[in-house]
Amino acid sequence: MRVVFVVLDGMPARHVGPEVTPRLWALAGEGARFAVGRSVMTSATYPNHATFSTGAGPAVHGLWANWVQTDGGPLSADRVGPAVATLFDACRAGGRSSGAVFGDNHLVGVMGAGAADECWPADGRVPEGVSRDAHDYIADREVVPRAVAAVERGFDLTVLHLNEPDTFAHVHGPDSDDARAGYRATDACFGEIVDAVDPADTVVLVVSDHDLEPVTPDAVDLYGPVAEHGLPLVPIPEGTAAMVWGDDPLGGAWLDGIDGIEGHREVAAGVRLVWGKAGRQFALPPGFPASTDKGQHGGMRTREQVAVVAGDAPAVDAIARTLASRTPAAEDWAVTIADLLELALPDATGRALLS
Ligand SMILES: [Zn+2]
């Protein structure tokens, strides 16, 4: 039994179908094998990828957003890494082989993939000459041959990531014709990778990490209000959400009057999640150029995740039945993979989809 886990970054579940994603749709087959899952918050890339590799949410792995506050100031999540053991650690401890190929090199650190037997880009560094997408991530075309080679190596666990749906949706808006054409191109890349998989002994799991929504340029600024109130807080924007770090003497009451905020709540001691109204993104720190993206994610409306299971193994039917009966949480995938490969993932909080 092997597992191939593929993340199509930012692929909106509502665009999965015979027209836009014919290869993924054909793989999913009958309806029960395609479902819509639910991301952790923030609905951003790194929190959800850390959850995919640990089976636990940000309260456990610590990566609440793409940037997190540390004693030394804000750091990119890949430089912090998940606080608990990952599937790659579990493979190593359990005598199973693992490999990973990423279209976003930061995911090596975010998912703890340095512990895999093989990982590309090695050490999270993109080799020179590798072509990039409009957001400077690795082009899907570059990922395909590396992903095919990893699948052909026959690792017990292979984790693969195609980045471009996220970039298309950011740049053009998630429901635009340009983005849909981009999703089609990624689906063709995905098809080339899946062609290398032997369905007889492999469970193929395909997910996305978050959805995207259209946004206006009218960003919600938290830095001004923090300064005006003299609060000892550090806001970190995450698209249509923000995390506010620090002990808040006002308990978040200063947020209540700000236009564009839909809600907020303390999610851990000294960590507050803030989310925007429809179409509203949060402003970057003073001095940073404003985002020109037409699509964003991070908040409450972009939590849908693609959830597809495929292959000929009996476990596939069991997972498909579960997908038909309950919404899979982001935490559930690593727990399911650990069960399939008979690995221990003691800090995971998800529920296996193998009932
Ligand atoms: Zn993403």
Distance CA 155, CA 100 (A): 9
- 312 and 263 both lie in a single domain: no
Q: Are 165 and 9 in contact (CB under 8 A)?
A: yes
Q: pLDDT per residue over 85-134, tens digit each?
A: 999 999 999 999 999 999 999 999 999 999 999 999 999 999 999 999 99
Angle at 148 between CA 145 and CA 150, to 5 degrees: 110
Give the chain's length.
355
- 194 and 336 both lie in a single domain: yes
Under the banding of pLDDT at 50, 70 and 90, the label for residue 245 is: very high
- 308 and 256 both lie in a single domain: no
Cα(166) to centroid of ligand 1, in Å?
Answer: 6
The answer to whether residue 350 is domain-embedded is: no
The answer to whether residue 174 is domain-embedded is: yes
pLDDT of amino acid 251: 97
Cα(89) to centroid of ligand 1, in Å?
Answer: 23
**CATH number for the domain that contains residue 133:** 3.40.720.10
Q: pLDDT per residue over 250-265, tens digit each?
A: 999 999 999 999 999 9
Cα(169) to centroid of ligand 1, in Å?
Answer: 10
pLDDT of amino acid 32: 59
pLDDT of amino acid 355: 74
- 209 and 310 both lie in a single domain: yes
- 256 and 309 both lie in a single domain: no
The answer to whether residue 347 is domain-embedded is: no
Say which residues have a Cβ less than 8 Å from residue 156's Cβ, sequence separation at least 6.
Answer: 1, 2, 3, 91, 96, 97, 98, 341
Cα(13) to centroid of ligand 1, in Å?
Answer: 13
User: Which residues, chain by chain, have CB under 5 Å from ion ligand 1?
Assistant: 9-10, 45, 166, 209
Domain that holds residue 93: 2-213+298-340
Q: What average pLDDT does the structure give for the chain?
A: 97
How many structural domains are present in the chain? Answer: 2
Cα(10) to centroid of ligand 1, in Å?
Answer: 5
- 75 and 179 both lie in a single domain: yes
The answer to whether residue 351 is domain-embedded is: no
pLDDT at 34 over 70: yes
- 8 and 113 both lie in a single domain: yes
Handedness of CA 80, 84, 87, 88 (dihedral sign): positive
Average pLDDT over residues 201-209: 96
Cα(106) to centroid of ligand 1, in Å?
Answer: 12
pLDDT of amino acid 31: 56
- 245 and 314 both lie in a single domain: no
236 forms bridges with which residues in the sheet?
A: 243
- 307 and 274 both lie in a single domain: no
Helix or strand holding residue 269 (H, E): none
Cα(253) to centroid of ligand 1, in Å?
Answer: 31
204 forms bridges with which residues in the sheet?
A: 4, 310
Average pLDDT over residues 185-202: 96
How does strand 241-245 pair with strand 271-276?
A: antiparallel
Provide the token pair at 192. 């080339």
Q: pLDDT per residue over 147-180, tens digit each?
A: 999 999 999 999 999 999 999 999 999 999 999 9
- 267 and 230 both lie in a single domain: yes
The answer to whether residue 162 is domain-embedded is: yes
pLDDT at 336 over 90: yes
The answer to whether residue 346 is domain-embedded is: no
Q: What are phi and psi of 178, to 5 degrees?
A: -65, -45
pLDDT of amino acid 28: 86
The answer to whether residue 218 is domain-embedded is: no
Distance CA 138, CA 120 (A): 11
pLDDT at 30 over 70: no
- 237 and 307 both lie in a single domain: no
159 forms bridges with which residues in the sheet?
A: 5, 100
pLDDT of amino acid 29: 81
Count CB-CB contacts under 10 A for residue 31: 10
Cα(298) to centroid of ligand 1, in Å?
Answer: 9
- 15 and 97 both lie in a single domain: yes
The answer to whether residue 47 is domain-embedded is: yes
